Structure 1
Amino acid sequence: MILSFAKRIATAVPSIIGVVVVTFVLARALPGDPASYYAGSSATPQSIAQIRKALGLDKPLWLQFGDYANRLLHADLGTSLSSGQPVFQDLVTRLPASIELTLCALVFAMLIGLPLGIAAATQPGKASDHLCRIVVSVGAAFPTFFVSLGLVYVFYFKLGVSPEPLGRLNDTYFTVPPTITGLYLIDTLLAGDISAFWASCAQLILPSVSLGLFALAPIARIARASMLASLSSDYCRTARAMGLSRTRVVYGYGLRNAMLPVINILGMVFSFLLGANVLVEQVFAWPGIGAYAVNAVISSDYAAVQGFVLMMAILYILLNLVVDLAAAAIDPRVRYDG
Structure 2
Amino acid sequence: MPLLLTLLRRIGSAIPSVFGVILVTFVLARALPGDPAAYYAGASATPDSIAQIRSQLGLDQPLIVQFFGYLGQLAHGNLGQSTSSGQAVLSDLIERLPASIELTLTALMFALIVAIPLGIWAATRPGSWVDHLCRLLVTLGAAFPTFFTALTFVYIFYFQLDVAPEPLGRLSEIYYTMPPRVTGLLLIDTLLAGDPEAFRAAFAQLILPAISLGLFALAPIARVTRAAMLEALGSDYCRTARAMGLSRGRILFVIALRNAALPILNVLGMVFSFLLGANVLIEKVFAWPGIGAYAVNAVIASDYAAVQGFVLMMALLFIVLNLVVDLFASMADPRVRYDD
Q: TM-score range by the shorter chain?
A: over 0.9
Deviations 1:214-258 (Å, cap 9, x if unpaired)? 000000000001111111111111111212111111111100110
1:127 equivalent to 2:93? Answer no
1:31 is aligned, of 19, 30, 33, to 33
2:17 is aligned, of 15, 18, 23, to 15
Q: For 2:224 and 2:339, how far apart are their aligned partners in 1?
A: 23
- SS where residue 327 of structure 1 aligns? helix
For residue 296 of structure 1, what is the amino acid of its counterpart?
A: A
Identity rate, percent: 70
Contact kept? 2:21, 2:315, Cα under 8 Å? yes
Q: Matches of residues 47-58 of structure 1 in structure 2 within 5 Å?
A: 47-58=49-60
1:107 is aligned, of 85, 89, 109, to 109
Deviations 1:79-133 (Å, cap 9, x if unpaired)? 0000000000000000000000000000000000000000011100001101100
Question: 1:209 aligns to what?
Answer: 211
User: Number of aligned pairs?
Assistant: 338
Question: 1:325 aligns to what?
Answer: 327
Residue 336 of structure 1: how far off its partner (Å) = 6.0
- SS where residue 181 of structure 2 aligns? coil
Stretch deviating more after TM superposition (310-319 or 31-40): 31-40
Question: 1:151 aligns to what?
Answer: 153
- SS where residue 332 of structure 1 aligns? coil
1:78 is aligned, of 57, 65, 80, to 80
For residue 109 of structure 1, what is the amino acid of its counterpart?
A: A
Q: For 1:336 and 1:217, how far apart are their aligned partners in 2?
A: 30
Question: 2:48 aligns to what?
Answer: 46
1:63 is aligned, of 62, 65, 73, to 65
Question: 1:138 aligns to what?
Answer: 140
Question: 2:95 aligns to what?
Answer: 93
Residue 43 of structure 1: how far off its partner (Å) = 1.7
Contact kept? 2:38, 2:50, Cα under 8 Å? yes
Deviations 1:143-181 (Å, cap 9, x if unpaired)? 111111111111111111111111000111111010000
- SS where residue 110 of structure 2 aligns? helix
Residue 5 of structure 1: how far off its partner (Å) = 1.5
Residue 23 of structure 1: how far off its partner (Å) = 0.7
Question: 1:308 aligns to what?
Answer: 310
Q: For 1:260 and 1:192, how far apart are their aligned partners in 2?
A: 39
Question: 1:264 aligns to what?
Answer: 266
Residue 2 of structure 1: how far off its partner (Å) = 2.1
Contact kept? 2:80, 2:305, Cα under 8 Å? yes
**After TM superposition, which residue ranges in structure 1, 4 or more long, deviate above 4 angstroms?**
none
Residue 337 of structure 1: how far off its partner (Å) = 5.3
For residue 324 of structure 2, what is the amino acid of its counterpart?
A: V
Q: Matches of residues 153-302 of structure 1 in structure 2 within 5 Å?
A: 153-302=155-304
For residue 211 of structure 1, what is the amino acid of its counterpart?
A: L
Q: For 1:166 and 1:4, how far apart are their aligned partners in 2?
A: 45
Residue 335 of structure 1: how far off its partner (Å) = 3.0
Structure 2 unaligned spans of 5+: none
